[in-house]
């Protein structure tokens, strides 16, 4: 009796969200629930050090979880967490989060810095991070509307070499830093925080 009621609730929620098959299974939603404590309800984080993951490409999420699991991507906590899940569970959760809607975070930004950052982005980053880095199909995380402290930490990892990104991205970052000087990263971050 109780199980039927639970199934009904989960099914109603799933139907409200999307029609994807794998993402609709109750176990996908129940598994994903264990991530809400940090990544926020449905994967839209409310804390600045933790990224939102709602609406990212399924393939990107699977890839990232496997990188964490294998210790191939620098992390404070995610390697420990990812190790607790099987390949099937990771696929199922990734499909579920991919079917959720990304809600960009509202953050303060300096208009002047954001303008300078927009120029740098268009020149050096846009070809891989289109629409200010909000397109799931790019499979490169989200930039605009992603929490600034998290993005800053990601870029620090990229520059320290503990984060696997295409060589072309490292080169693009170097060029942006040459062009924008010491403020370049800060300007890019203000642009991503301001983009609507």
Cα–Cα dist 51/178, whole Å: 28
Q: How many CA atoms lie within 13 A of 102 on its CB side?
A: 21
Residue 8 found at the interface with ligand HEC (CB under 6 A): no
Tokens of 144: 């605009």
Cα–Cα dist 196/86, whole Å: 37
Name the minimum Å distance from CB 87 to ligand HEC: 13
Stretch that binds ligand HEC, among 7-15, 22-30, 107-115, 170-178 (CB under 6 A): 170-178
Rounded to 5°, angle at Cα 43 from 81 and 188: 95
Nearer to ligand HEC, 7 or 168 (CB): 168
Find the binder of ligand HEC among 125, 132, 144, 193 (CB under 6 A): 125
Cα–Cα dist 14/23, whole Å: 8
Residue 159 found at the interface with ligand HEC (CB under 6 A): no
Interacting residues with ligand HEC (CB under 6 A): 34-35, 37-39, 49-51, 53, 61, 63-65, 75-78, 81, 93, 124-125, 127-129, 140-141, 143, 151, 154-155, 165-166, 168-169, 172-173, 176, 188
């Amino acid at each position: 009796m109780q199980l039927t009621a639970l199934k009904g609730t989960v099914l109603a929620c799933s139907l409200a969200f999307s029609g994807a098959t794998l993402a609709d299974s109750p176990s996908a939603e129940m598994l994903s629930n264990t991530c809400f404590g940090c990544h926020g309800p449905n994967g839209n984080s409310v804390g600045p050090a933790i990224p939102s993951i709602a609406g990212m490409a399924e393939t990107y999420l699977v890839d990232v979880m496997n990188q964490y699991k294998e210790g191939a991507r620098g992390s404070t906590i995610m390697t420990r967490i990812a190790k607790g899940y099987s390949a099937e569970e990771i696929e199922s959760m990734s499909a579920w989060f991919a079917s959720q809607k990304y809600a960009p975070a509202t953050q303060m930004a300096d208009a002047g810095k954001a303008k300078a950052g927009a120029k740098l982005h268009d020149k050096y980053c846009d070809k891989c991070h289109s629409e200010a880095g909000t397109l799931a199909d790019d499979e490169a995380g989200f930039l605009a509307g992603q929490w600034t402290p998290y993005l800053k930490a990601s870029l620090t990892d990229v520059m320290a070499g503990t984060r696997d990104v295409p060589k072309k991205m490292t080169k693009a970052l170097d060029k942006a830093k040459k062009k924008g000087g010491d403020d370049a990263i800060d300007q890019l971050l203000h642009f991503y925080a301001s983009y609507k």
